[in-house]
Amino acid sequence: MKFGINTLLFTGTVKDEHIEELSPKFKEMGFDGVEIALEKKGDIDYGKTARVLKNNGLVCSSICGLFGENRDIRGPNKEYIEGGLSYIRDCLEACSELGGGVLVGPVYSAVGRASMVPEKEKKVQWDTVVENLGKACRWAEELGVYIAIEPLNRFETDFINICRDAVRMCNDVGSKMLKIHLDTFHMSVEEKNSAMAVLDAGKELLYMVHASENDRGAPGTGQVHWKEIVDALRRIDYDKWVVIESFTPENKVIARAASIWRQTEESDFILAQKGLRFLKGLLS
């Protein structure tokens, strides 16, 4: 199993200087790769980033998509749909150039869009996402990159909250390039049983695991049922990435978006070190 770190713990908009500064520290801590949260195309030089990672014995594990209001493929705003599709294509191309292999996140909708809608309207939204993810998956296949959709908690989306909904979306789209991304924080809020969610996805569909605590702090410091989750990962022979995606108030933009109002550790580096030590002890 491989261990990665998401750049959102350190910066909201990753730049070339962040990659240069952080990569040696990530390697020293013991990470295998870096998940790059790409705010927009052009923020980093892909060739330079790949070289810096390689020179530090790291790889790009994945690209983490950031889906704001104007990147929303479930409609009905056509401009937002086009914005979402364009951004997804940019992220897939970044994956391809960086060797990341998978685009992860709530690709299906803007984060923060959460309200009760009639079943008829929800079906229209569902069908719209199926159609647009189908387009995205055709690009993904051309580029040799997978898309792994992430169920989010109820405060961040009303659309896909649990793994079984993600499985249904994968089945409806019907593309071999569409997979599932599970996050221990979101599962701790929404799933009846996080281990069962892992089994529901199975080896065929589970392509990314984000590790974070119930308070979005360092893995191993809270109430997430790690033993059961790890047992489930072993049952499906999961051998892909486990990426720490936690936050601190130091990153102001992400802190506001994710409601991070207090420190859970002394610093972002201590959080990363503590979380990695715990995960390696559990999974290695």
For residue 266, what pLDDT is reported?
76
Q: What does the mean pLDDT of the chain come to?
A: 95
What's the average model confidence in pLDDT over 172-177? 98
Please say whether the beta carbons of 7 and 35 come within 8 A: yes
Q: DSSP label at 180?
A: E
Q: Cβ neighbours of residue 174 under 8 Å, at least 6 residues apart?
A: 134
For residue 227, what pLDDT is reported?
97
What's the average model confidence in pLDDT over 97-104? 96
CA distances from 177 to 92, 141, 173, 180, 224 (A): 12, 6, 10, 10, 29
For residue 251, what pLDDT is reported?
67
pLDDT score of 11 more than 80: yes
For residue 221, what pLDDT is reported?
96
Q: Which residue has the tokens 């990341």?
A: 100
Please say whether the beta carbons of 70 and 80 come within 8 A: yes
* Runs of H (alpha helix) within the chain: 16-29, 46-55, 78-98, 119-143, 163-173, 184-190, 194-205, 226-235, 252-257, 268-283
Give the CATH superfamily of 2-283.
Divalent-metal-dependent TIM barrel enzymes (3.20.20.150)
Instruction: Count how many Cα atoms sit within 13 Å of the Cα of residue 161 in the half-sphere of its side chain.
Output: 16
Neighbours of 157 (CB within 10 A): 22
In this prediction the pTM is 0.96
* 74's tokens: 């479930």
Residues in the chain: 284
